[in-house]
Structures are given as structure tokens and as C-alpha cells.
Amino acid sequence: QVQLVESGGGLVQAGGSLRLSCAASGLTFSSYAMGWFRQAPGKERVIVAAINRSGGSTYYAGSVKGRFTISRDNAKNAVYLQMSSLKPEDTAVYYCAARNGWLSTTFGSYNYWGQGTQVTVSS
């Protein structure tokens, strides 16, 4: 079965950095666009960043552009989210998601989801 397992979350001070990883198994990874979403308490799950199948095209939400970088390694079946200059408003559970096909920013278009990893940014 398909599994997406996130890691790398934790507690960090404002201005700090974290690198999230998502290990995928049970799917032909290079056939899937990948996305990172986040959900803060009491709020909807929203797109943070997405990357196409080859890694040649990316999308970033305006709130993270210039601070976060998404990348993937198809040989390792992994996608990453490098987060820098973190702010308290970045505090959320971060989810990795896989979509069979083109890059998408739409929550409902993703086929598989990880269990999430907590990121907490203290002020």
C-alpha cells in the first residue's frame, strides 16, 4: 500500500530553520506530483508548496515564497521542504501529499496523504 511518512518537524525559535522530509513507498514516485500542506488549529488545510513530477516546476504560497524551498529526489522516493526565517504563524501540522499527474494546488486533487508532522515556531 502507499505510504507517505513525514519527518523533521519540531520546535524552533522564530527566525530559525527546519527541513521536513517525506519518504514515499508503494507508488511509482516519479509519476506523482508532490505537495506540502499545512493545517493550523481551527483552520483549513492549505497548500504551502508543490513540485511537479520531474522537479522542474514548483509552486509556493505567497506567505512562504522566498523562505521555503521544495525539492524532490526521485531516486530516493523523497520530497523535502526546507523552511527558513520561520515565523510563529508558520506553526501548524505539515502534511505531505501525492497526486498522480500534474502539479496541483488543489487539496481535493491529491490521492495520498501522510500522517503529518508538527512544526511549532516560538516567538
Pick out the chain residues at pLDDT < 70.
Answer: none
Partner residues linked to 80 by β-bridges: 21, 71
So what's the pLDDT on residue 43? 96
Give strand ranges (E) for 3-116: 3-7, 10-13, 18-25, 32-39, 46-51, 58-60, 68-73, 78-83, 92-100, 112-113
Please report the pLDDT score of residue 58 as a whole number.
Answer: 98
